[in-house]
């Protein structure tokens, strides 16, 4: 892949991918997320991400929000279990303006008390909003089911009780303990000479002090499959079935990404969609997802359906899983699955913001970024026997957990 990397003396790495366009995209990835919290400060990483846009040592909230919008640029951020990401899209002349804002909000935010209180109300409203969306809530609660008692099981937003308790000292303590400069990647995708990107980056980020705190993430706890059903004030049944899965370094990661895509991934031609929605018409939305993380992964199947159709939908899901555990894919099926997956990945590169974020995460996780050709080579190397073994490891009914939200009886 056509990219270049430069390391600053403080450990921050600059990733650049040339792109012949008048529009550029940049991101800053911090290797810190909700799994780096504890029970008492659950939700803090996400809370900090919100507050980064509020006030810094040299800018007010309005100045932060206007800094890029006044030149037509877009600024946003998100938090996951393991990362915090701030990203921006802008016209090429505004690279320095964008990176300067990144540096200011990440390293010089002051977290004023009045803004903290306002943002607590915003996040409490966000938590309530998620609870009003059963498809979101059931997936969040399913992760808690998979990782009960572990930081990976806790909701990224936190709880009303934890959010209310956050103090400024909690914020600074979390940042000092988790924002390691050697685990920060700044990604730039744009039509620039790499020397210019380095010069601007050295000017803006070179003065940041190195921060290398000792940090050891909580080890993954033991897994025991669980089946739970809860009544909710809803009209449809919402169900998630799944398992813990492979981490980002596992040799079967690529194979399971391929298998998951065949089963219930992107597109209308997945096996679950064809069988349950198109053939039987009993679920408007059905999908499967595989999310690999640094030391574990999450596999899940989600569907929503009418209460009287739930049992049939579950039987059909298990039947599709059994097909994959009992029989290896034929040569034509395997070829078609690979071609579909490869095509989707290639088309995904058209999302330039998604591409630079993905590259920055890859550099953080693996120390390198694979080219499309290398990715395709790994996909094409997957065999039918490997997929059969993966299916038997991941789709074993005895190891699957299930969470159901069903309508409350009146």
Model confidence at 409, pLDDT cuts 50, 70, 90, reads confident
| Residues found in the chain | 410
**CATH-assigned architecture of domain 227-407:** 2-Layer Sandwich (3.30)
Integer Cα distance of 143 and 82 in angstroms: 14
Integer Cα distance of 316 and 320 in angstroms: 6
Integer Cα distance of 288 and 205 in angstroms: 40
Q: Which class for 217: exposed (0-12), middle (13-18), buried (19 or more C-beta within 10 A)?
A: middle
- Under 8 Å between Cβ of 237 and 409: no
Model confidence at 172, pLDDT cuts 50, 70, 90, reads very high
Q: What are the tens digits of pLDDT across the range 269-283? A: 999 999 999 999 999
Would the CA dihedral through 299, 155, 170, 54 be positive or negative? positive
* Whether the domain at 4-205 and the domain at 227-407 fall into the same CATH topology: yes
* 134 pLDDT higher than 90: yes
* 1 pLDDT higher than 70: no
Domain boundaries of the chain, sorted by first residue: 4-205, 227-407
- Under 8 Å between Cβ of 18 and 191: yes
Model confidence at 284, pLDDT cuts 50, 70, 90, reads confident
The CA-CA-CA angle for residues 283, 136, 391, to 5°, reads: 60
Averaged pLDDT for residues 368-378: 96
Averaged pLDDT for residues 239-264: 98
Please give the share of the chain, as a percent, with pLDDT higher than 90: 97
Model confidence at 304, pLDDT cuts 50, 70, 90, reads very high
Residue ranges of E strands in 246-325:
285-292, 297-305
pLDDT value of residue 131? 80
- Under 8 Å between Cβ of 224 and 399: no
Mention every residue, 6+ apart, whose C-beta is less than 8 A from residue 343: none
* 340 pLDDT higher than 80: yes
* 316 pLDDT higher than 90: yes
pLDDT value of residue 343? 97
What's the topology of domain 4-205?
A: Cytochrome Bc1 Complex; Chain A, domain 1 (3.30.830)
In sequence order, what are the beta bridge partners of 232?
407
Mention every residue, 6+ apart, whose C-beta is less than 8 A from residue 221: 147, 148, 149, 150
């Amino acid at each position: 892949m056509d990219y270049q990397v430069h390391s600053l003396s403080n450990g921050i790495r600059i990733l650049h991918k040339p792109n012949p366009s008048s529009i550029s995209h940049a991101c800053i990835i911090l290797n810190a997320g909700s799994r780096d919290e504890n029970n008492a400060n659950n939700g803090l990483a996400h809370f900090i991400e919100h507050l980064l846009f509020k006030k810094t040592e040299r800018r007010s909230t309005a100045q932060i929000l206007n800094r890029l919008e006044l030149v037509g640029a877009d600024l946003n951020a998100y938090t996951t279990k393991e990362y915090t990401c701030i990203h921006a899209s802008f016209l090429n002349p505004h690279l320095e303006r964008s990176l300067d804002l990144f540096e200011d909000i990440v390293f010089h935010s002051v977290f004023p008390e009045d803004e903290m209180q306002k943002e607590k109300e915003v996040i409490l409203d966000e938590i309530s909003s998620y609870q009003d969306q059963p498809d979101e809530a059931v997936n969040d609660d399913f992760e808690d089911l998979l990782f009960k008692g572990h930081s990976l099981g806790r909701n990224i937003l936190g709880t009303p009780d934890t959010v209310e308790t956050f103090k400024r000292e909690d914020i600074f303590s979390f940042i000092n303990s988790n924002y390691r400069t050697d685990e920060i990647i700044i990604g730039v995708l744009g039509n620039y000479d790499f020397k210019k990107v380095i010069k601007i980056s050295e000017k803006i980020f070179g003065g940041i002090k190195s921060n290398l705190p000792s940090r050891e993430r909580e080890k993954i706890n033991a897994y025991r499959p669980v089946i739970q059903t809860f009544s909710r004030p809803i009209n449809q049944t919402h169900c998630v079935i799944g398992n813990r899965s492979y981490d980002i370094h596992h040799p079967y990661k690529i194979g399971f990404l391929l298998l998951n895509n065949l089963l219930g991934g992107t597109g209308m031609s997945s096996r679950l969609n064809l069988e349950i929605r198109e053939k039987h018409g009993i679920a408007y939305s059905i999908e499967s997802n595989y999310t690999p993380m640094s030391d574990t992964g999450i596999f899940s199947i989600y569907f929503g359906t009418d209460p009287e159709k739930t049992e049939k939908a579950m039987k059909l899901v298990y039947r599709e899983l059994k097909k994959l555990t009992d029989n290896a894919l034929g040569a034509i099926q395997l070829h078609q699955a690979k071609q579909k997956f490869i095509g989707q990945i290639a088309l995904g590169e058209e999302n330039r913001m998604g591409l630079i974020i993905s590259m920055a995460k890859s550099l953080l996780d693996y120390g390198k970024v694979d080219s499309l050709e290398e990715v395709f080579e790994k996909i094409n190397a997957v065999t039918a026997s490997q997929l059969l073994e993966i299916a038997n490891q991941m789709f074993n009914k005895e190891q699957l957990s299930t969470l159901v939200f069903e309508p409350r009886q009146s």
